[in-house]
C-alpha cells in the first residue's frame, strides 16, 4: 500500500532495470495508502512503479487462488507495465499507465521490442476497468490479450491515447456468442487501429455504439474495429512478437 518501486539509474538498458514485483503462484494486492482517519479517505499515497523493465510480473501454474489485485496505482515510464499469465480473477482498476518507449535491438539481428501497459495470457474472470493508458512517442500497445479462452470477459471503460494499436487480441479469446468484449472504452490519437485482432477470435456480439443518454449501459463513442492479417501486415504485427 502506497509503495514506490523505482529504478533511479540514468542510463540503463530496459532488460537490466528490474521488476517492481516478480511473483509466481502468488496472490497479492497493490493499492493506495490512506493517510486520513475518515471515510471516504481525503489524503492518499498511490503505489508507483517507475523506470522499470516490468512493473508487475506474475506467472501462475493455474493455481485457483493465485492472482493480483492492482488498483489506484501509477505506472510511469516502464518498458512493460503489468504481465499476467494464468492469473484468473485478477482485478486491474483505476490505474494510470504512462507506457515507456519501444526498445530497438541491433544485434544479433535488428528487432524492435514493443512496449505495453498490460498483457494478459491464459487468464479469465478478470476485471479490467477505469484505467488510463497513455503512450510515449513510440509506444505500440496499451493492452494485449492472448488465449484467454472462451469465457465471457471484457475490457470496460478504459481510456487509450497515442498508441499505434491501443488494444490487441491474439489467439482464442472467444467462441461464437461467448468471449472477450470491448465495452465503453475511449480511444484517442491512435495511429493504426483502436482494436486489432492478429489471430483467433473474440465474442461475436460486441454491442453497438449509442450517444443516447437514455441508454447509458450501451457502448459509448466511436469504436474502430480492425481485423489484422498477420501475413499481409507483418510490418505491424508478426507471428514472432515477443511480449514476455
Q: Are 100 and 135 in contact (CB under 8 A)?
A: no
Position 167 pLDDT exceeds 80: yes
pLDDT of 92: 98
Beta strand extents in 137-236 (DSSP E only)? 141-146, 153-156, 159-161, 165-170, 174-175, 178-183, 186-188, 193-197, 225-227
pLDDT of 118: 98
Question: What Å distances lie between residue 27 and 90, 100, 133, 228, CA to CA?
Answer: 9, 26, 24, 35
**Could you give the percent of the chain with pLDDT greater than 90?**
60
Q: Dump the DSSP string for 95-115.
A: -EEEE---EEE-SSS-EEEPP
The tens digit of pLDDT for each residue in 112-140 reads 789 999 999 999 999 999 999 999 877 88
Q: For residue 107, what pLDDT band results from cuts at 50, 70 and 90?
A: low
The tens digit of pLDDT for each residue in 201-237 reads 898 888 765 555 555 444 444 344 444 433 323 233 4
Q: Are 153 and 177 in contact (CB under 8 A)?
A: no
Position 10 pLDDT exceeds 50: yes
Q: Are 154 and 126 in contact (CB under 8 A)?
A: no
The tens digit of pLDDT for each residue in 33-71 reads 999 999 889 999 999 999 999 999 999 997 778 999 999
pLDDT of 215: 52
Query: Domain boundaries in the chain?
Result: 16-227
pLDDT of 28: 97
Cell numbers that stand for 180 in this block: 472477450
The arithmetic mean of pLDDT across residues 149-167, rounded, is: 94
Amino acid at each position: 500500500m502506497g509503495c514506490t518501486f523505482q529504478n533511479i539509474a540514468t542510463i540503463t538498458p530496459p532488460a537490466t532495470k528490474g521488476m517492481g514485483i516478480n511473483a509466481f503462484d502468488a496472490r497479492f494486492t497493490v493499492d493506495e495508502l490512506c493517510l486520513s482517519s475518515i471515510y471516504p479517505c481525503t489524503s492518499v499515497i498511490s503505489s508507483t512503479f517507475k523506470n522499470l523493465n516490468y512493473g508487475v510480473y506474475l506467472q501462475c501454474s493455474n493455481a485457483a487462488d493465485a492472482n493480483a489485485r492492482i488498483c489506484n496505482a501509477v505506472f510511469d515510464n516502464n518498458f512493460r507495465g503489468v504481465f499476467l499469465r494464468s492469473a484468473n480473477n485478477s482485478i486491474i482498476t483505476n490505474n494510470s499507465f504512462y507506457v515507456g518507449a519501444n526498445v530497438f535491438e541491433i544485434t544479433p539481428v535488428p528487432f524492435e521490442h514493443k512496449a505495453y501497459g498490460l498483457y494478459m495470457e491464459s487468464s479469465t474472470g478478470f476485471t479490467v476497468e477505469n484505467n488510463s493508458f497513455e503512450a510515449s512517442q513510440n509506444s505500440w500497445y496499451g493492452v494485449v490479450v492472448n488465449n484467454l479462452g472462451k469465457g465471457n470477459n471484457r475490457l470496460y471503460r478504459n481510456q487509450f491515447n497515442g498508441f499505434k494499436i491501443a488494444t490487441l487480441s491474439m489467439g482464442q479469446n472467444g467462441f461464437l456468442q461467448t468471449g472477450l468484449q470491448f465495452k465503453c472504452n475511449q480511444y484517442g490519437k491512435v495511429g493504426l487501429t483502436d482494436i486489432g485482432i492478429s489471430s483467433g477470435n473474440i465474442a461475436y456480439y460486441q454491442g453497438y455504439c449509442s450517444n443516447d443518454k437514455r441508454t447509458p449501459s450501451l457502448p459509448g463513442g466511436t469504436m474502430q474495429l480492425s481485423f489484422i492479417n498477420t501475413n499481409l501486415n507483418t510490418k505491424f504485427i508478426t507471428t514472432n512478437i515477443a511480449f514476455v
